[in-house]
Amino acid sequence: MSGEKILVVEDEKDIQELVRYNLKKETYDVTCADTGEDGLKQAKALLPDLMVLDLMLPGVDGLEVCRRLKRESATAQIPIIMLTAKGEESDIVTGLELGADDYVTKPFNVKVFVTRVRAVLRRNKKEPTEVQGVLRFPELEIHSGRHEVLVAGKPVSLTYTEFNILKFLAARPGWVFTRYQIVEAVRGDDYAVTDRSVDFQIVGLRKKLGQAAERIETVRGVGYRFRE
């Protein structure tokens, strides 16, 4: 039995009921809200383990709900999965940059949706931690202190920027990051990274990673993620 609390903020009754029913089947404790205002109130009162948030809400829209929740310390850590319509790539990017964790495009496959919910809850419970400065995956090791990457036990030579992009993505597998977020995370005072150059860096990184290259996944129109 899972029992995690999930708040669903969706004004379309059919979709709300579809989401509620299928999450209930997975033994989640589900609460629903119809508007952004009610979603904000419920989030502050319940402090759910996860929020499923439609972007197109009457009144206070989903992006504004996300912005307000991430601005307050009491609710900033609530993971958010956005529900979006096709063609809302700009809203997806904005939501992720505001702090949302993932998104699902409507219409969606129920099994895929539930899997995404499980993945976000799992990541929120236990993000990968560095053991003695090392991030380990089956065919890949990232050594922070030594600034070293091993693929299948063999060292790979990366530039300073390539290393930091890889480490940033690998520290949160499954999370989608926009190019802007990657730039903000890896740029330093003595070197420059731009959102356009991120694509170039990723191309070079994939070439060097060989069999581990498939772990860096392109999310079209949004950015990149490290595959679990």
pLDDT at 189: 44
The two structure tokens encoding residue 48: 């759910």
- Which residues of the chain form CATH 3.40.50.2300? 5-125
Render pLDDT for 154-191 as a digit per residue (tens, 0 to 9).
999 988 888 989 999 998 888 888 888 888 887 654 44
**DSSP conformational letter for 134:** E
pLDDT bucket at 22, cuts 50 / 70 / 90: very high
Higher-scoring residue by pLDDT: 133, 143: 143
Which CATH number is associated with domain 5-125?
3.40.50.2300
pLDDT bucket at 92, cuts 50 / 70 / 90: confident
Of 207, 201, 119, 132, the C-alpha closest to 168 is 201
Is a pLDDT exceeding 60 seen at residue 114? Answer: yes
Domain 134-226 is in which class? mainly alpha
Q: Note whether 4 and 28 are within 8 A (CB).
A: yes
| CA–CA distance, 226 with 213 (Å, rounded to integer) | 10
Q: Note whether 225 and 219 are within 8 A (CB).
A: yes
pLDDT at 74: 84
Which of these ranges, 44-48, 102-106, 189-193, has the smallest mean pLDDT? 189-193
pTM score:
0.68
pLDDT at 190: 44
DSSP letters, 104-121, are: EEES--HHHHHHHHHHHH
CA atoms within 13 A on the CB side of 213: 12
- Which residues of the chain form CATH 1.10.10.10? 134-226
pLDDT at 89: 79
Instruction: Select, from the ranges 10-19, 114-123, 170-179, 219-228, the one with the highest average predicted confidence (pLDDT).
Output: 10-19
Render pLDDT for 62-91 as a digit per residue (tens, 0 to 9).
999 999 999 888 898 899 999 988 667 788
pLDDT bucket at 13, cuts 50 / 70 / 90: very high
| CA–CA distance, 92 with 222 (Å, rounded to integer) | 7
Is a pLDDT exceeding 80 seen at residue 102? Answer: yes
